Amino acid sequence: MGFLNTLLGILGFGIGLSFGLLVGYFIFIYFEPTDVKEPVVKQLQELDTKTLRLLLPDIPLWMKCPDYERVDWLNKFILEMWPYMDKAVCDTIRSTTTPIFDQYIGKFHIKSIEFDCLTLGSLPPIIHGVKVYETQEKEIIIEPGLRWAGNPNIVVMINLLGFRVTVQLTDLQIFMSPRVTLKPLVPSFPCFANVTISLMEKPHIDFGLKILGADVMAIPGLYRFVQENIKEQIANLYHWPQVLEIPLLDSCSGAMTKPVGILRVKVLRAINLLKMDLLGKSDPYVKLSLSGERLPSKKTTVKMSELNPEWNEEFKLIVKDPETQVLQLHVYDWEKVKAHDKMGMQVIPLRMLAPYETKLFTLDLLKNMNPNDPQNKRNRGKIMVELTFAPFRKESSSKYSASLDEEENVSSMDRGSVHIPSNGGVLSVAVERAEDVEGKHHNNPYALVIFRGDQKKTKAIKRSRDPRWDEEFQFVLEEVPMDERIHIEVMSRRRGFNFYPKESLGHVDINLTDVVNNGRINEKYHLINSRSGIIHVEVRWSTV
């Protein structure tokens, strides 16, 4: 009997203690005093050293560090856009978390998990300073100082054993200094292929968490444990040098700028062209180019006084994206004095071509590519062209991978039927930058690339000893450039009258044997006739 009394006494003490703690907790939460005293506002010069030291984390970065710039305009922009950004971000959160919630439905007696309320509130984050790094790579590095003391209201409703359990996140505060890197820079919107984010220091995160209406973060000891654990987990994932990489462009979206093949165009003839002159016939010629290229257009010869001209002239164009690029054909009437009159045009999408297959096109010339323009109903004649797309052996894409795999099985007879030389290709020369180049009279360096009498040059960089050009040139060749050299010279020029308008800052001759054998070289070369100048060049050889 005594044992039973002792056991019941222990059980009663445990139940009473637990019930008492629970009641005390709710009394502490719901009857916590809410009266808040008005803060004492003083000027900075009236504060002592200790108080100023405590205020340092709250002072904007643009005041403490001169490298950070003030961006009030950006904060005003975010403030105006915040209602729309709130909806867009919340929609993204819903679509991202729904598959995660679905994994727990049916487990642990959970019938459903859904958002009862989801909003980021009316207070947007504030950027209190931005620092931009200057690098010699194809990238942009930005470090914004971000603070968000928001009023979000995120309520998750969990149906557990027939009871509706609510978990609410409120009063979220985030202070962090991320490093955002946009790289590599590409000539396709949004002009960078990837975004990488890393944190330069551990973030400060503070929030309130309510379960069934009670703030569990008010439990002594739990608040600090949760905060430190969250900071540690985020730091392990994204604290520099750890990064979060977000790809925006892939190889099929236009980010690829390297050549993937050669388009051979044979302009055959035109039929029944318009007569553009009152006296005499027209003098037609054709300009052809690929979309997305800044290279000068190719031109046929001018056929004088002819409305049915025959050219039978071949051209080679370098293809970078056969899925999106189109061949543009413009027929003009040559004029000796005034501007040349446009007689008509047409375009041919390259996706209509199969690798190594010659295709004949007979196209009606149009005024422009607007289908609703009534002038396109006028008969402007026809143009006939033959096209052949020859992809490089080492380049492949999703559409052409099967064809390229079968390329090795194409016999020399098959190649001859489409007039593609087995040893032709493209020599690509990328002039990236130079270091420590110096002229005697001026320093506005640009690079000359000379090969087989063909000369190409980069833009000039004003007043620089370490110019960065990042320009690429291509040479279409009918045979392998074995045992040949390419000449690259760094020059400087000065605008206006000068006794020394141009001068050489150094040169280098690169033997192409290693390029042909290896397919690519990427080296730094010491410039000849330069004290300590260096040039960084990448050369690639791609065969068809």
pLDDT value at 402 more than 50: no
pLDDT higher than threshold 80 for residue 311: yes
pLDDT on residue 313: 94
Q: How many CB atoms lie within 10 A of CB 461?
A: 20
Q: How many CB atoms lie within 10 A of CB 205?
A: 16
Helix H or strand E encompassing 225 = helix 222-238
Q: Cα torsion for 518, 522, 527, 532, to the nearest 10°?
A: -140
pLDDT tens string 20-38: 666 666 665 555 555 555 6
What pLDDT score was predicted for residue 256?
A: 42
Prediction pTM value: 0.47
pLDDT at position 405 is 41
Average confidence score pLDDT of the chain: 78
Claim to verify: residue 326 and residue 352 sit in the same structural domain: yes
pLDDT of residue 287: 93
Mean pLDDT of 16-20: 63
- State the pLDDT at residue 453: 85
Residue 20 falls inside a structural domain: no
pLDDT in tens, 49-81: 777 666 666 666 555 566 677 778 888 888 888
Output the pLDDT for position 123.
87
Residue 305 within any structural domain of the chain: yes
Amino acid present at 424: G
The whole-number pLDDT of residue 37 equals 58
Q: Is residue 159 located within the same domain as residue 286?
A: no
The mean-pLDDT minimum among 261-265, 307-311, 470-474 falls in 470-474
In this prediction, residues 267-281 reach a mean pLDDT of 84
**Together in a domain, 89 and 193:** yes
Statement: residue 102 has pLDDT above 80: no
pLDDT top residue among 332 and 372: 332
| 156 and 101 fall within a common domain | yes
Expressed as residue numbers, the domain containing 242 is 60-247
209-223, 354-368, 397-411, 424-438: least confident range: 397-411
**Does residue 212 lie in a domain region?**
yes
Give yes or no: residues 202 and 276 share one domain.
no
pLDDT for 254 beyond 50:
no
Q: Which of the four pLDDT bands, split at 50, 70 and 90, describes residue 1?
A: low
- Within this chain, do residues 229 and 295 fall inside the same structural domain, yes or no? no
**Across residues 191-206, what is the average pLDDT?**
80
- Pairing mode, if any, of strands 178-185 and 140-149? antiparallel
| Average pLDDT score over residue span 393-400 | 43
d(Cα 315, Cα 298) in Å, to the nearest integer? 7
pLDDT higher than 80, residue 196: yes
Residue 433 lies in a domain: yes
Please indicate, yes or no, whether residues 122 and 222 belong to a single structural domain of this protein: yes
Number of domains composing the chain: 3
Q: How is 58-88 classified by DSSP, letter by letter?
A: GS-HHHH-TTSBP-HHHHHHHHHHHHHHHHH
Q: How confident is the model at residue 13 (pLDDT cuts 50, 70, 90)?
A: low
Q: What is the 3 state secondary structure string of 97-109?
A: HHHHHHCCCCCCC
- Read off the pLDDT of residues 119-135 as tens digits, 9 standing for 90 and up: 888 888 888 888 887 77
Q: What is the pLDDT of residue 363?
A: 92
Does one domain contain both 193 and 123?
yes
**How far is it, in rounded angstroms, from Cα 243 to Cα 56?**
28
- Residue 322's pLDDT is 86
Stated length of the chain: 544
Position 265 confidence tier, pLDDT thresholds 50, 70, 90:
very high
pLDDT at 166: 85
236 lies in the same domain as 344: no
| Window from 148-162, 408-422, 499-513 with minimum mean pLDDT | 408-422
User: Does 83 fall in a domain?
Assistant: yes
Q: Which residue has the higher pLDDT, 18 or 501?
A: 501
d(CA 85, CA 81): 6
Instruction: Give the integer Cα–Cα distance in Å for 404 and 393.
Output: 7
Asked whether residue 215 falls in the same domain as residue 273, the answer is no
More confident residue, 228 or 475: 475
Please check the confidence at residue 169 and state whether its pLDDT lies above 80. Answer: yes
For residue 400, the model assigns a pLDDT of 36
Q: Residue 266 and residue 307: Cα distance in Å, rounded?
A: 19
Let me know whether 186 and 310 are in one domain.
no
Indicate whether 338 belongs to any domain.
Answer: yes
pLDDT at 21: 62
Separation of alpha carbons 299 and 382, rounded Å:
18
Task: Categorize the per-residue pLDDT at 406 as very low, low, confident or very high, splitting at 50, 70 and 90.
Answer: very low
The CATH number of residue 350's host domain is 2.60.40.150
513-538, pLDDT tens digit by residue?
Answer: 888 888 889 999 999 999 889 999 99
More confident residue, 309 or 7: 309
Percent of the chain residues past pLDDT 70, beyond the cut: 76
Question: For residue 194, which phi and psi values (nearest 5 degrees)?
Answer: -140, 155
pLDDT at position 209, please?
A: 81
In a domain, 409, yes or no: no
Q: How far apart are CA 298 and CA 264, in angstroms?
A: 12
Same domain assignment for residues 210 and 287: no
| Burial class for 260, CB neighbours closer than 10 Å (0-12, 13-18, 19+) | buried
CA distances from 519 to 192, 339, 514 (A): 27, 45, 8
Task: Give the model's pLDDT for residue 398.
Answer: 36
Q: What percent of the chain has pLDDT over 90?
A: 20
Flag whether 235 is in a domain.
Answer: yes
Which pLDDT does position 266 carry in this prediction?
A: 95
